[in-house]
């Protein structure tokens, strides 16, 4: 394994560990609060993390071509970012409803 491949493997491992941790924490928060926004956040982060796992796994473990692996990772990342963008718009509360009147 050359230096560039080692850097890619290390970066993807860090992405898997921290992406998985953040996804788990967002999932727990969504379950605790029953928040659609947090649920969408956890799904989006999970998809981005799974893309890293499946893309790297295809290439490193199953010997798939580099372009096919990148394509799989890119599709998961794109769908994950759609879910993340949706999480910013889910359960929007108008500001007027959140301000207490005295």
Question: How is the chain split into domains, by residue range?
Answer: 3-90
Convert the pLDDT of each residue in 7-18 to its tens digit: 988 998 999 999
Q: What pLDDT, on a 0 to 100 scale, did the predictor assign at position 63?
A: 85
What is the distance between the alpha carbons of residues 90 and 102, in angstroms, rounded to a whole number? 29
pTM score of the predicted model: 0.79
Kindly give, in sequence order, each residue whose CB lies less than 8 Å from that of residue 89, ignoring residues fewer than 6 positions away. none
Rounded to a whole number, what is the largest CA-CA distance in the chain?
Answer: 67
Convert the pLDDT of each residue in 21-74 to its tens digit: 999 999 999 999 998 899 999 999 999 999 999 998 898 888 888 899 999 999
């Amino acid at each position: 394994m050359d230096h560039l491949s080692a850097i890619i493997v290390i970066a993807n491992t860090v992405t898997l560990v921290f992406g998985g941790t953040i996804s788990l924490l967002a999932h727990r928060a969504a379950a605790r609060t029953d928040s659609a926004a947090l649920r969408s956040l956890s799904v989006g982060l999970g998809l981005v993390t799974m893309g890293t796992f499946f893309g790297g796994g295809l290439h490193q473990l199953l010997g798939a071509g580099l372009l096919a692996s990148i394509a799989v990772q890119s599709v998961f990342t794109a769908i994950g970012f759609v879910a993340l963008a949706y999480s910013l718009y889910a359960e929007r509360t108008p500001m007027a409803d959140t301000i207490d009147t005295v």
